[in-house]
Amino acid sequence: MAESARLLDLGRRDYRSTLTLQRALHHAVATGQAGQTWLVVEHPPAITLGRNANETNLLLSRDLLQSRGIDVVDVERGGDVTYHGPGQVVVYPILKLERFRAILPLVSALERAVIEAVAAFGIAAHGREEHRGVYVGNDAICAIGLAVKRMTSMHGLALNVSTALDYDRLITPCGTPEFGITSLEQQLGREVGFAQARDVLFERLASVFDLQFDRESITPDTPLEALEPAS
């Protein structure tokens, strides 16, 4: 029987407030106050730098990016520089892992779910052992970057659906200039709705992780503090 998992659909939320919620939920899951919790969200433009990020992969200064309305945030996940923006399905799985060796299988399972999701749209994609994520040919369609602290995961994946693909003028995505970027819409040559892509992705995540998602759709006026478990 599939395990039940809480899924918070945050709609469109800014990166920093979502990160604050994610950290609060991570603490709750890590300390046994809450069961596994998944977040799905669409962010306004933001650039995040992982703990191994090379600052030279920001092609514009932080001040200039901020002046253009693009938030720049240093985070605890692995990996380098990543862009988030409208038209991108972002998923944060906050899961308690049984052992350290479960980290790589978790990344592989996320990749597999994305590969199956884009296959549902008729797109053949694959992973790369040397640069984790999901690719169509040499173009990244989904970035994956996790942090695991106290044996509990946070951060996650970003699937390009209808994302504007000129963000490589702002950063070197994931610090890998040898790879390009793509999206579902670019591959298909037609419009793809955010909700459609989100739902297909979560069908595949449910299958790969053997979960039954209990989804809560959060209205824009709901304060994120209300979603945090009581301490």
For residue 205, give both structure tokens.
Answer: 């995540």
Q: Which long-range contacts (CB under 8 A, 24 or more apart) does 25-33 make?
A: 25/94, 25/227, 25/228, 25/229, 26/94, 26/149, 26/152, 26/154, 28/228, 28/229, 29/94, 29/95, 29/96, 29/152, 30/96, 30/149, 30/150, 30/151, 30/152, 31/150, 33/229, 33/231
What's the longest Cα–Cα distance across the chain?
Answer: 51
Exactly one of 106, 174, 184, 211 is catalytic; which is it? 174
With beta carbons less than 8 A apart as the criterion, state whether 106 and 50 touch.
no
Is 142 catalytic? The answer is no
With beta carbons less than 8 A apart as the criterion, state whether 74 and 147 touch.
no
Nearest to 228 by CA among 30, 5, 15, 33: 33
Give the span between the Cα atoms of 211 and 204, in whole angstroms. 10
Give the span between the Cα atoms of 119 and 204, in whole angstroms. 10
Radius of gyration of the chain (CA): 17
Q: Which residues are catalytic?
A: 174
